Amino acid sequence: MATKVFVDTNIIVDFLTERQPFDIPAARLFNKADEKAIEACVPASVFPFLFYLLSKLLSSRAEAWDAIARFRQLVTLLPVDKRIVDLALASDFKDLEDAIQYQTAIANGIQFFITRNLKDFDMASIPVLTAEDFIRQLP
């Protein structure tokens, strides 16, 4: 069974927008997902934001739609429901998006949380790593 990792929005954006210098570790992470070496999990709720962002950055909405559809094939979608939002609101996180993502990861038995913002997850009960550090520790 592949290692389940939760991928924070910042890593997804790095990958899809080729934001340097973070795009290479993000691409390596998603290559591992494409190879089925890991299961990259993301909240389903991230897709409207990704479409909005890519619609602004790419040459057309159709190109953004296509990029999102290709990305979708690399990841497992996790639901965000009332319970997740309530847990997030009751948490000590300063950022609601971080709180929702973390509670989604915990509710789904995620083994690693991948982000660039390690300091935002200092109270995490699961390992929180950068994409680069996670890839480095893989066999």
Alpha-helical (H) ranges within the chain are: 9-17, 23-34, 46-57, 61-72, 82-89, 96-107, 131-137
Nearest by Cα to 128 from 87, 98, 96, 89: 98
Closest CA to 74 of 25, 32, 117, 26: 32
Distance CA 112, CA 6 (A): 6
Which pLDDT score is estimated for 12? 96
Model confidence, pTM:
0.93
Tell me the pLDDT of the chain (139 aa) as tens digits: 789 999 999 999 999 999 999 999 999 999 999 999 999 999 999 999 999 999 998 889 999 999 999 999 999 999 999 999 999 999 999 999 999 999 999 999 999 999 999 999 998 999 999 999 999 998 7
| Superfamily covering domain 3-137 | 5'-nuclease (3.40.50.1010)
Q: In this predicted structure, what is the pLDDT of residue 34?
A: 97
